[in-house]
């Protein structure tokens, strides 16, 4: 079974502004730190293609909080999306803050999620419109952690999801998520309760306990700290430890620890899917090829390890974990300019992200006001997957409302 993962951008961004558009006159905003915690919420006006004064002042303040860190504007691709993108571009053009990047994020299922009991539990005392904005923002940080909260039939992928047996659809989702978790692991400093509870050895209670521990400490620094989760016994830890990845701390003024904690030595192998019980074997293998755990990641690690011939069965197993190639889609496209369909030229090459796959072709997000159609007659087999970023060529004259692409 093969999967491709959408690469999250959590560890490269200091803070983000996320917006969801429910009516064209209002913009619902959330300032979200790089570990998905909501820092602040706001609502202000969108007058045509510019924000009102309150909105401009607030965005300038939020960007200022990030200091020298990277800020990404994540904007839902629904109603008033293009107008909001242009409003941000206008602020950048007039020097309201330095150059920033924008990413459009699919809104599929955000409104449905915002009125569920799960959303009320996850984001209490928050109106549905702002919950939708949070969901959209978190999708950019860690897609799988957020999409797992939404019923598959509400994601709008394909054509017949509402005709499929709902129980079988949910079972298929659970299977795919477990397979993905087993192959890649989950980031304990970003993953939602809904994703963590699907990890072998965890359940809803211990997953919630892990998130509570993360909030208490500010961030999880090592797998050893996971043992402090209330209700997580030695056997359960043994089952889940290899799937829980501990990423490096974000250099982030928004994500600092909430209280002082006992310093725990960093273990580079905690960033891999190698189980703690196999760390000794892993260190031995690395030593044989002239490396230490602190040297990871290493570009020629696979070549070095595969050059070893005299290995035991356990060493071969650990080597396979080091060498397993995970097919990862690139991070979401970050735009530095806003395009309109009318500005496109026939024959022009554009980078697009496959938004949906249907019988007659693909709908592709090219950063314009609506998705373009790549008809199946212009596509080569195999068709690219949803989420894939590819180079396309504009075929139809841009004066037509729907642009047609050739891959």
For 32, 109, 180, 220, 234, the CA distances from 365, given in Å and listed in that order, are 24, 17, 25, 36, 47
Res 210: pLDDT: 96
Written as six digits, the tokens of 119 are 């959303």
Q: Which residue has the higher pLDDT, 60 or 144?
A: 60
pLDDT of 332 > 90? The answer is: no
**Cα gap 148→152, rounded to integer Å:** 8
- Locate the domains of the chain by residue range: 5-142, 274-323, 341-406
C-alpha distances (whole Å) from 322 to each of 272, 308, 362 are 8, 13, 35
> What's 5-142's CATH class?
alpha beta
The pLDDT-based confidence of 207 (bands split at 50, 70, 90) is very high
Contact (CB, 8 A) for 21 and 3:
no
Q: What span, in angstroms and rounded, lies between the C-alpha atoms of 169 and 181? A: 18
Judging by DSSP bridges, how do beta strands 71-76 and 15-20 pair with one another? parallel
Tens digits of residue pLDDT in 256-289:
444 444 445 578 999 999 999 999 999 999 999 9
pLDDT in tens, 232-256: 999 999 999 999 999 875 433 334 4
211 CB-contact burial (10 Å; exposed 0-12 / middle 13-18 / buried 19+): middle
Q: What is the rounded distance in angstroms from the CA atom of residue 68 to the CA atom of residue 97?
A: 12
- Rounded Cα distance between 97 and 94, Å, is 8
Query: Percentage of residues in the chain with pLDDT exceeding 70?
Result: 78
Confidence of residue 21 (pLDDT cuts 50, 70, 90): very low
Of 2.40.50.140, 3.40.190.10, 2.60.40.10, 3.40.50.10320, the CATH number of 341-406 is 2.40.50.140
CA distances from 60 to 19, 64, 88 (A): 15, 6, 11
- Sequence-separated (6 or more) residues with CB below 8 Å from residue 316: none
In the predicted model, what is the mean pLDDT of the chain?
Answer: 79
pLDDT of 398 reads: 57
- What's residue 71's pLDDT? 80
Residue 209: both structure tokens together:
């306990």
- To the question of pTM greater than 0.75 for the whole model, the response is no
């Amino acid at each position: 079974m093969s999967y491709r993962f959408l690469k999250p951008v959590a560890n490269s961004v200091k803070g983000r502004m996320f917006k969801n558009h429910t009516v064209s006159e209002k913009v619902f905003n959330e300032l979200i730190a790089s570990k998905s915690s909501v820092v602040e919420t706001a609502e202000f006006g969108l007058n045509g293609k510019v924000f009102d004064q309150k909105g401009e002042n607030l965005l300038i303040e939020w960007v200022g909080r990030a200091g020298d860190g990277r800020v990404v504007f994540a904007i839902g691709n629904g109603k008033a999306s293009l107008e909001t993108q242009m409003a941000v571009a206008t602020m950048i053009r007039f020097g309201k803050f330095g150059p920033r990047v924008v990413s459009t994020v699919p809104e599929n299922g955000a409104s449905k999620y915002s009125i569920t009991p799960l959303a009320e539990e996850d984001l209490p005392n928050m109106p549905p419109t702002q919950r939708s904005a949070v969901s959209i923002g978190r999708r950019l940080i860690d897609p799988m952690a957020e999409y797992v909260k939404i019923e598959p039939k509400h994601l709008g992928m394909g054509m017949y999801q509402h005709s499929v047996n709902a129980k079988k659809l949910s079972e298929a989702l659970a299977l795919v998520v477990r397979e993905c978790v087993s192959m890649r692991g989950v980031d304990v400093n970003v993953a939602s309760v809904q994703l963590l509870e699907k990890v072998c050895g965890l359940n809803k209670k211990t997953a919630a306990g892990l998130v509570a521990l993360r909030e208490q400490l500010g961030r999880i620094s090592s797998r050893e700290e996971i043992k402090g989760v209330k209700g997580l016994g030695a056997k359960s830890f043994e089952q889940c430890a290899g799937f829980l990845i501990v990423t490096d701390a974000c250099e982030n003024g928004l994500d600092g620890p909430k209280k002082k904690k006992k310093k725990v030595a960093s273990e580079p192998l905690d960033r891999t899917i190698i189980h703690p019980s196999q760390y000794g074997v892993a260190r031995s293998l690395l030593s044989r090829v002239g490396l230490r755990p602190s040297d990871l990641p290493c570009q020629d690690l696979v070549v070095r390890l595969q050059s070893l011939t005299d290995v035991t069965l356990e060493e071969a197993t650990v080597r396979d974990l080091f060498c397993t190639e995970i097919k990862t889609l690139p991070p979401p496209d970050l735009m530095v300019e806003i395009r309109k369909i009318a500005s496109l030229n026939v024959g022009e090459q554009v980078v697009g992200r496959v938004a949906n796959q249907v019988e007659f072709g693909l709908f592709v997000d090219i950063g314009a006001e609506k998705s373009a159609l790549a008809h199946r007659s212009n596509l080569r087999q195999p068709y690219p997957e949803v989420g894939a970023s590819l180079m396309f060529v504009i075929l139809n004259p841009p004066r037509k409302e729907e642009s047609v692409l050739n891959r």
